[in-house]
């Protein structure tokens, strides 16, 4: 079997995904425009959803897990953040929990809607749907069970048991209420499903709901202003929008390497955590001359009796 050619294009693309296509469709288009196979994204957006989709190209694909990081977390419990706007349609449940699905149940929620205000809904979500919560992934998600994605099983009419998972809703803002439609903005940890939050809100109000017009407005430190519309990209201009690989770790603590760190990067050797802590909290990106050499993360070494850091990702051995 012939080996795949190494990537020759490296960088980060911030795309404003349009509705009607999958995240993988966006990846395929970028592959064709750049003539580069090594392209991946940092988190799926539903076909009907729009907004911020971050794509890694070449070496940047190895750093995708750091794109949604914001300061303040730990390696064991990273502080990740994505933000969305959406509309929650009260009274109607669908097979997919969004507007693309078939209607399954209609609830008469006229009385509760008439009695609700933006303020009362805000108080409800602050009390019940904000902070650390447990969330059951929907059957239409891309999670795998026994090697098969849930949405594939759902299309076959199969529903399986899903375990609730911990997620964090950093902020759930009720922007307005118009008839049976609640406009919302949610800032949450990675792995949160906004469509499930919509369903939960409907049930807390004694009925049901689904989500529509879902838009991702930020991922970590990247927001809509960083993005280029997918339709504006051509083979001639796409390189103009390619950000440096170092942008993938701009939320991490940056460490300028000394000779000891350079030597450790070359052979993948661990170092005392004290070599890095002065630069900020973990993980630590070793950057020299604008080039990301490696990312170090801490681990406990009981034999040594002190905190250690090891290179979890190595992209280059040195600049010289």
Active-site residue set: 46
Report residue 65 as tokens: 């897990």
Report residue 153 as tokens: 């099983």
Cβ pair 140, 158 in contact under 8 A: no
How many Å separate Cα 92 from the centre of its chain?
A: 28
What span, in angstroms and rounded, lies between the C-alpha atoms of 140 and 43?
15
What span, in angstroms and rounded, lies between the C-alpha atoms of 256 and 81?
26
What span, in angstroms and rounded, lies between the C-alpha atoms of 168 and 302?
32
Label each residue of the chain as H, E or C. Answer: CCCCCCCCCCEEEEEEECCCCCHHHHHHHHHHHHCCCCEEECCCCCCCCEEEEEEEEHHHHHHHHHCCECCCCCCCCCCECEEEEEEEEECEEECCCECCCCEEEECCCHHHHHHCCHHHHHHHHHHHCCEEEEECCCCCCCCEECCEEHHHHHHCCCCCCCCCEEEEEEEEEEEEEECCEEEEEEEECCCCCHHHHHHHHHHHCCCCEEEEEEEEEEECCEEHHHCEEHHHCCCCCHHHHCECHHHHHCCCEEECCCHHHHHHHHHCCCEEHHHCHHHCCCCEEEEECCEEEEEEEEEEECCCCEEEEEEEEECCCCCC
């Amino acid at each position: 079997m012939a080996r795949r050619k190494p990537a020759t294009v490296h960088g980060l693309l911030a795309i404003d995904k349009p509705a009607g296509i999958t995240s993988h469709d966006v990846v395929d288009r970028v592959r064709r425009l750049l003539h580069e196979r090594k392209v991946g994204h940092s988190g799926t957006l539903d076909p009907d959803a729009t907004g911020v989709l971050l794509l890694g190209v070449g070496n940047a694909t190895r750093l995708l897990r750091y794109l949604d990081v914001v300061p303040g977390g730990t390696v064991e419990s990273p502080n990740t953040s994505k933000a969305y706007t959406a509309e929650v349609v009260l009274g109607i449940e669908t097979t997919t929990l969004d507007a693309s699905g078939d209607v399954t149940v209609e609830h008469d929620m006229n009385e509760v809607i008439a009695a609700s205000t933006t303020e009362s809904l805000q108080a409800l979500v602050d009390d019940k749907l904000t902070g650390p919560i447990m969330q059951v992934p929907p059957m239409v998600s891309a999670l795998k069970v026994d090697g098969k994605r849930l949405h594939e099983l759902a299309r076959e009419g199969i529903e399986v048991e899903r375990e609730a998972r911990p997620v964090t809703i950093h902020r759930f803002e009720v922007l307005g209420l118009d008839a049976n439609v609640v406009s919302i903005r949610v800032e949450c940890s990675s792995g949160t499903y906004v469509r499930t939050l919509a369903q939960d809100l409907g049930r807390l109000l004694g009925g049901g709901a689904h989500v529509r017009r879902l838009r991702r407005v930020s991922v970590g430190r990247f927001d809509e202003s960083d993005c280029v519309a997918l339709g504006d990209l051509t083979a001639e201009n796409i390189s103009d929008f390619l950000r440096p690989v170092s942008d993938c770790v701009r939320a991490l603590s940056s460490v300028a390497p000394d000779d000891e760190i350079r030597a450790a990067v070359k052979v993948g050797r661990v170092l005392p955590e004290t070599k890095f802590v002065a630069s900020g909290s973990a993980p630590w990106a070793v950057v020299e001359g604008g080039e990301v050499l490696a990312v170090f993360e801490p681990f406990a070494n009981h034999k040594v009796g002190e905190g250690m850091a090891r290179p979890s990702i190595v992209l280059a051995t040195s600049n010289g």
